[in-house]
Structures are given as C-alpha cells and as structure tokens.
Amino acid sequence: MPELPEVETVRRGLLPVLEGQRIASAEVRRPDLRWPFPERMAERLAGARVETLARRSKYLLAGLDTGETLIIHLGMSGRLLIGAEVPGGFHHAPPLPGKHDHVILHVEAGPTITFNDARRFGAMDLWPTAAIENHRLLARLGPEPLGNGFNAEWLGARFAGRRTPVKAALLDQANVAGLGNIYVCEALWRAHLPPIALAGSLAAAEIERLVREVRAVLEDAIAAGGSSLRDYRRADGELGYFQHSFAVYGREGEPCRTPGCEGTVARIVQSGRSSFHCPICQRRG
C-alpha cells in the first residue's frame, strides 16, 4: 500500500494540472471501490474548481469551491495518472479508458486525471470542507510526521507506559499519521532501535533520535519519488526510486549497510507483518 512519501509524490505531481483548475466533467464508471461512491459524485464534481490539493496521512484532499472536499485513498493498487494535451505540447496522451480506470476527471485546461485501481481497495468520498477533520477516515489521525506537531515530547507522551513493541506503536496512526511498514523498518534501522523494543522502555534520547530518523527517511523517500514495489506509479506514470536505497526492508539475508557492521539483515513477523532489521547494530545496550 502506498505510504506517505508515495502519496505526497502523487500530490506534487498533480499540483500543476489540478490545483486552481476547474473540473469540466467527471466519469464514474462503477458504483464503488472499497466502499460505495457518494451519491451523484459525477454531478457534484462537474464544474467544481479545485482550490487546494493537500495531503493528510495517506489521503489526498482536493478542496473544492463548492464547499466540499474530495477525499482520495489509493488503497493497495490505486494510481492517479495524468494524460491529455496541455498547453505547450503533449503530456502522456491517454489511451481509451481501460478495464481498471474507474474514475476520470476532465479538467477544463486540458488534462485528464484517471483513477486506476486493479484491486479496488481504493476509495473516494465527498465531505463538507468545514468538517473535514471529522470524517471517519481522518478523525483519529495523529500529527503529520513532517509537521511541527510531531516531536519528541509528543511521541514520548504517547509511548509512556506502553508495552506495545515500538514497531506497532509507530504503525498506529493515532500516534503518527502516514507511516507504513516500509518506512517504519527503515527509520528503526537508522535510529539503531530493534522493532521488538517496548515503546514505553525507550529513553528520551532514543525517542529524539527516532523522531529525527522518521523525518529523515520520509524526506529522502519523497526526494526519490517514493518506492515502487508492485503497483505504485507517480502521477506521470514513472516509477519511484527509493526502493534502491532500502537498508533493511526486503533485504533478508543480505549484509547490513551500517558502516563497520558485520550483521546480516533478518526478518521477523510481528502482528502478521514482516519486520526487517539488523540484529547487531539495532541491538540496545
């Protein structure tokens, strides 16, 4: 599933062709994805101007001049792809709608934005902008990891007394929004913390280091256009490149990339998910 860097990369790719533009028409080619689409979605989108294009956690938020916000979740395999003629030449000319092209937005300035989702775990919803933080998908989210609200004081308070493994605590979206399995594994490796360490056992210095490395790995991943493992593509259809920089994720049995470390990357299973780590340089004490 695309994590924060992938969704942020898609947002930045869509900004030049969608923010400030008016949706001439919308094609909704099926009644649902993961959940039913909102009633009359095509009619409610037609003629609306996209005033802002933001991201909250793993969700894209297109604020419309109609007073509603279009919420988009890519799910497991969702893609938002740009295609059509735009001023100055051709930009990713789109083919005829394919089997998995479920929603197509025709923008007045020329481009089309196609939501393609083979597995149909994605979602779209329309919600009053003034109450967007009350939407069921957004109401319990913690602070953005790249924002000022995410800091050592916040995370220390959330971790205090908790016997949950730190890996699970970081995946809890109420503690920090937008993190997934890939970047939690990478951040813990950078912070030299084992995924099984209890969240409540972390010292203040360890929490400060963890906050710093969470930010760093996300910034590095965004700069690389995210990670493409199976289905993820940027808005221009290109792959992300951060997967080539993984230190531990998916590297079971390979040498640790910490300079001077002689460890080998290992995999354990926590709550049904693979955790990749170096048993040597991520050992505490």
Catalytic residue numbers, as ranges: 2-3, 58, 273
Q: Are 133 and 144 in contact (CB under 8 A)?
A: no
Q: Are 221 and 242 in contact (CB under 8 A)?
A: yes
Nearest to 72 by CA among 108, 46, 48, 102: 102
Question: Residue 130 CB: number of other CB atoms within 10 A?
Answer: 10
Cβ-based burial of 99 (10 A; exposed 0-12, middle 13-18, buried ≥19): exposed
Nearest to 117 by CA among 76, 147, 153: 76
Ramachandran sector of residue 49 (left: φ over 0; alpha: ψ -120 to 50; beta: rest): beta
Query: Helix axis angle, 204-223 relative to 4-18, nearest 10°?
Result: 40
Q: Are 104 and 27 in contact (CB under 8 A)?
A: yes
Q: Are 20 and 107 in contact (CB under 8 A)?
A: no
Which residue matches tokens 């010292």? Answer: 203
